[in-house]
Chains A and B, each alone.
Chain A
Amino acid sequence: MRNLLQFLARHNRIFVFILLEIVAFYLIFSSNNYHNTRLVKSVRRSTLAWESIISDVRNYLMIRKLNADLHAENTLLRNYIAALKPATDSTDLLFPSVEKSDSLSDPRYEFLRAEVVNNSVVRQRNFFTLDAGTNQGVDTNMAVVSPWGVAGIIVAAGENFSVAMPVINVDFRLSAKVKTNDFYGSLSWDGADYRYAVLNEIPQHVEINAGDTVVTTGYSAFFPEGIPVGTIADFKKSGSDFYHIKLRLATDFRRLVHVYVIRDRLRKEQLETEKGFL
């Protein structure tokens, strides 16, 4: 016993080091539960208050740019409304007795607003935090889009905050298609550059060009169809049957502030119907 204590005392540096590394690695490997442990939760609550203040300052500094983005988006939406208006008016005119279409009064997708209060782009497994949670109707597995296009998927939801996994997380997967020809492939991120992602599984006989737009397919049951993902920046034919496509992401993850969480009212029904077949 005495010898053991002496041994420990003489090499205390190494033992303390090993002990603390075990603690650290325990935290890392239990990271799926990490955000749910009580200690982390209570600390996060206080740090989130800080982060809200910081993000307020940061957003204020970017306010001109943010306003320009919102303005551009508003313009686009106004154009859509303008394009839709004659159609709805003519329906009213032709079928005055028909009730307002269900698909308009109760659309499948509902957009909820949220602001990014914490964000990272330099890591391999990036996440961002939103200031909306279950109280605001946000829940896990909902899609998040930015004014430019696809942003991520909610992976954890608290009462007033939620955490989303962005496209720039090496664990992120999404099915996406080339808009011009509807061939679809699998989108992922290689962890290198936050501006670019990789699109695989597009067969080589398909004709694609740099600059082609890539959009979501709607097969994933997360995103509605047709939301922009990015544009083809570069592609090469590899030895396999598929292209290796480098995609310039539509969303600028460093400037991510105003986002929309998409609630799919029929998602549950779709998943239940598919259960047992897919």
Chain B
Amino acid sequence: MINRIFRYSAIYILLILFQVLILNNIQLSGYANPYAYILFILILPVETAGWLLIVLAFLAGLVVDLFMGSPGMHASASAAAAFARPLVLRSMAPRDGYEPDAEPSMAQYGFRWFAIYTLIIVALHHIVLFWVEVMNLADFMGIMLRAAISTLFSVIMILMIEYFRKGR
């Protein structure tokens, strides 16, 4: 248990550092910024209590907010993604359910499963993020397009990180 807390803390710190030190500074193409820190929300153990998941996601988003100087937008999007995660996991459960200490990772459930799972959660996170940022319904298609492009970048980035993490 202690070991686990230590491991997830390390992953969390590495992801946040990677996000604020590198990803926030490259700004691919000028339209989209990949948000890889969402991986932290994705890979917490399946049995994590719902409330704890939301609190951890909120705090992760808040730290990113502080570094980006945006007020509460990532916190709100991350909390929404964490809120939806149990529902997504339930709908994607393998035939005989999850194992007691399963981790929703590429290593355990395969590339295809993990890619779909990531796509759903990240798309949700980004749609909330972009709506919260704009706060009006005027340019519906424009915002959805921006969210879609960003989602694509983030999913690719997350899958790449997860692929290299797989060995461990």
A and B from one complex:
yes
Seen from chain A, the residues whose Cβ lies within 8 Å of a Cβ on chain B are 12-13, 16-17, 20-21, 23-28, 30-31, 34-35, 40, 43-44, 47, 50, 54, 58, 118, 120-125, 127, 129, 163, 191-195, 254
A118 to B24, CA, bound (A): 10
Report the minimum CB–CB distance from A12 to chain B (whole Å): 5
Is the CB–CB distance between B51 and A24 below 8 Å?
no
B80 at the interface (CB under 8 A from A): yes
Extra A-B contacts (17), CB below 8 Å, given A28-B72, A31-B72, A54-B25 = A13-B83, A16-B50, A16-B54, A21-B76, A21-B80, A24-B58, A24-B73, A27-B75, A28-B71, A44-B66, A44-B69, A54-B21, A120-B68, A121-B30, A123-B70, A123-B133, A195-B30
Report the minimum CB–CB distance from B11 to chain A (whole Å): 20
Is the CB–CB distance between B75 and A20 below 8 Å?
yes
A118 to B54, CA, bound (A): 29
Report the minimum CB–CB distance from B85 to chain A (whole Å): 10
Report the minimum CB–CB distance from B82 to chain A (whole Å): 8
Cβ-closest chain B residue relative to A34? B71
Is the CB–CB distance between A35 and B69 below 8 Å?
yes
Is the CB–CB distance between B54 and A25 below 8 Å?
no
The prevalent SS among residues of B at the interface is: helix
CB-contact partner of A16 in B20, B32, B51, B80, under 8 A: B51
A-B Cβ contacts below 8 A, count = 92
The 3 A-B residue pairs with the shortest CB-CB distance, nearest first, are A27-B72, A24-B76, A13-B50
Is the CB–CB distance between A24 and B31 below 8 Å?
no
B79 at the interface (CB under 8 A from A): yes
Cβ-closest chain B residue relative to A27? B72
A20 to B91, CA, bound (A): 25
Cβ-closest chain B residue relative to A118? B69
Seen from chain B, the residues whose Cβ lies within 8 Å of a Cβ on chain A are 20-21, 25, 27, 30-33, 50-51, 54-55, 58, 61, 65-73, 75-76, 79-80, 83, 86, 132-134, 139, 142
Is the CB–CB distance between B73 and A28 below 8 Å?
yes
Contacting residues, chain A, for B79 (C-beta < 8 A)? 17, 20-21, 24
Is the CB–CB distance between A254 and B54 below 8 Å?
no
A145 to B55, CA, bound (A): 42
A271 to B70, CA, bound (A): 32
A13-B66 in contact given A20-B58, A21-B76, A25-B72 (Cβ < 8 Å): no
Is the CB–CB distance between A13 and B51 below 8 Å?
yes
Is the CB–CB distance between B72 and A17 below 8 Å?
no
A54 to B132, CA, bound (A): 28
Report the minimum CB–CB distance from B88 to chain A (whole Å): 14
CB-contact partner of B27 in A30, A43, A121, A125, under 8 A: A121
Contacting residues, chain B, for A34 (C-beta < 8 A)? 71
Contacting residues, chain B, for A58 (C-beta < 8 A)? 25
Report the minimum CB–CB distance from A10 to chain B (whole Å): 11
Is the CB–CB distance between B50 and A127 below 8 Å?
no
Is the CB–CB distance between A47 and B27 below 8 Å?
no
Contacting residues, chain A, for B71 (C-beta < 8 A)? 27-28, 30-31, 34
Is the CB–CB distance between B72 and A122 below 8 Å?
no
Cβ-closest chain B residue relative to A121? B30
Cβ-closest chain B residue relative to A37? B71
Is the CB–CB distance between A12 and B50 below 8 Å?
yes
A251 to B79, CA, bound (A): 37
Report the minimum CB–CB distance from B50 to chain A (whole Å): 4
Is the CB–CB distance between A125 and B75 below 8 Å?
no
A43 to B142, CA, bound (A): 33
Report the minimum CB–CB distance from A256 to chain B (whole Å): 12
Contacting residues, chain A, for B66 (C-beta < 8 A)? 40, 43-44, 47
Is the CB–CB distance between B30 and A47 below 8 Å?
no
A47 to B65, CA, bound (A): 11
A122-B31 in contact given A20-B75, A23-B72, A58-B25 (Cβ < 8 Å): yes
Report the minimum CB–CB distance from A15 to chain B (whole Å): 8
Cβ-closest chain B residue relative to A123? B133
